[in-house]
Amino acid sequence: MSVPKLSLSDNSEAALAKTRAEVVIVGTVQGPDGPELADGAEAVDAAFDGTLAEVLTTLGATGKAEETVRVPSLGRLSAGVVLAVGLGKPDDLTPERVRRAAGATGRALSGRKRVLTTLSALDLQAAVEGTVLGSYGFTAYKSEPGDAPPAALEVAAPAEGTTRAHKATLKAAGAIAEAVIVARDLVNTPPNDLFPASFADRARELAGAEGLDVEVLDEKALKRKGFGGILGVGGGSSRQPRLLRVAYRGAKAKKSVALVGKGITFDTGGISLKPAAGMDDMTSDMAGAAAVLASVVLAAKLKYPLEVVAHIPLAENMPSATAYRPGDVLRMYGGRTVEVLNTDAEGRLVLADALTRACEEQPDYVIETSTLTGAQKVALGDRTPGIMGSDEFRDRVAAIAQATGENGWPMPLPEELRSELDSKLADLANVTGQRWGGMLAAGIFLREFVAENVPWAHLDVAGPAYNSGGPWGYTGKGGTGVPVRTIAAVLADIADNG
């Protein structure tokens, strides 16, 4: 799916009278005596002679978060319908509440081609991201795709700020939404069509369009260079592994950031086979790879003054006669050995190789993300990424993740877990002997492959990257695009503050 054409309109009665939009979106809040109109709805209300809140009350609206109510305009506006969405209680209207309400409108557009939102008066970026992402659908495999997302989205300008600033925000928001969509599309593409070589082809297309360098190491190159982790995990599949390096170098690059993303195009568990129930969710096990690919392309689109290099290990974890076994010892890139005690703890093995390679280039920061552990879901649930890494940078990334609404939370790497990864015959084992603290143990394993003194963050998005429940806010079923917006915001923050 692509992003609708975005344009800025002034939020006046005159502009409303002549918009070509079929639907105009307004916000409502929960007042003490029923719904009240949110800022931005003034011109629409004027067309209703100040009766819009009353009309909404009559229709049963309350203003509660994500409630949508349609009002026919009956000639009062050129648009046929006003779509009102609840923002909840009027206090503390955070950007994320605007984004989720906008998402609910995106889900309620039912095939309209041109839409105007006034939620942008509250928060321009959140309104754009929410509306676009809420209307996202993945229909590539449907014979009858159903309602398409809108082709054009007009956004009413906020009262404060200059048109120039608004245009810049609009551009950034559109590009960020597009990056999230790129990641969602990749996650939603089924594993029979998305495997290491085909992912590499998609990366070449996406990155090539921005003029980025893409290097693809195939199985022969991986063997020559000694990428034992990636080869071990990928060896069970007829579709051989790859390692991608996608590089963007901005003019006046002040800092370099390495992005590393787990790209298991399907995770059966390997010889340590997963149970059948829910195994299909493992189509999402390349969500980290999708997120970092989308992010490096985004960095190029928005011309961040940074060097951003994405390292993407791709493998399919299958059981077969050529699969690696529990008990095998792998020689990782860089020479260290790992005893495999469970072939289902494969993500950390491919990531170890990629992290070592990323650190060879001495980046200023390393951000790695992966659908790494079921333990992340046990600890934090489906909507809260676990963020580990070096203390300061971890907290910085977590604070930014909170601000974006992706809501990552800082987690520790308790020192006592390190010895649990000692191996009887190799330098390290890939799992501990017990299941407690599984998310943290995986983080400790990864830390072994990050160069000392590099600020690094590990974002475990096992739950948040994939929505197997119903739609909410701007998140539909399937790939969510998490943590693209966090990575984008961290890159922007590094560009601004070093």
| Residue ranges that bind Zn ion, judged by CB under 5 A | 264, 267, 285, 347
Q: How far apart are CA 258 and CA 362, in angstroms?
A: 9
Q: Which of 84, 153, 155, 375 binds ligand BES (CB under 6 A)?
A: 375
Active site residue 348: yes
* 460 lies in the binding site for ligand BES (CB under 6 A): no
Q: Cβ 285 to ligand BES, closest distance in Å?
A: 5
Token pair for 341:
């005690």
Nearer to Mn ion, 188 or 371 (CB): 371
Q: Order across the sheet with 329-331: list the strands.
A: 329-331, 337-339, 428-429
Active site residue 274: yes
Which of the ranges 190-198, 241-249, 302-310, 365-373 carries the binding residues for ligand BES, by CB under 6 A? Answer: 365-373
- The helix/strand/coil state of 209 is coil
Q: Cβ 267 to Zn ion, closest distance in Å?
A: 4
Distances (CA, A) of 438 to 222, 266, 339, 354, 486: 29, 21, 17, 21, 23
* 267 lies in the binding site for Mn ion (CB under 5 A): yes
Q: Which of residues 96-135 bind ligand BES (CB under 6 A)?
A: none
Cα 262 vs. chain centroid, distance in angstroms? 13
CA angle 336, 342, 347 (to 5 degrees): 65
Q: Cβ 341 to ligand BES, closest distance in Å?
A: 9
Nearer to ligand BES, 267 or 353 (CB): 267
Query: Do residues 242 and 231 make contact, with C-beta atoms less than 8 angstroms apart?
Result: no
Label the pairing between strands 386-389 and 409-410: parallel
* 462 lies in the binding site for ligand BES (CB under 6 A): yes
Peptide bond into 483 cis (omega under 30): yes
Q: Binding residue per annotation — 346? A: yes
Q: How far apart are CA 320 and CA 354, in angstroms?
A: 24
Q: Binding residue per annotation — 113? A: no
Label the pairing between strands 478-479 and 466-467: antiparallel
* 198 lies in the binding site for ligand BES (CB under 6 A): no
Question: Which of 167, 202, 249, 274 is labelled catalytic?
Answer: 274
- DSSP lists the bridge partners of residue 238 as none
Q: Which of residues 275-294 bind ligand BES (CB under 6 A)?
A: 281, 285
* 328 lies in the binding site for ligand BES (CB under 6 A): no
Binding-site residue ranges for Mn(2+) = 262, 267, 285, 344, 346
Binding site for ligand BES (CB under 6 A): 267, 281, 285, 342, 344-347, 371-375, 377, 431, 438, 462
Report, as residue numbers or ranges, the catalytic residues.
Answer: 274, 348
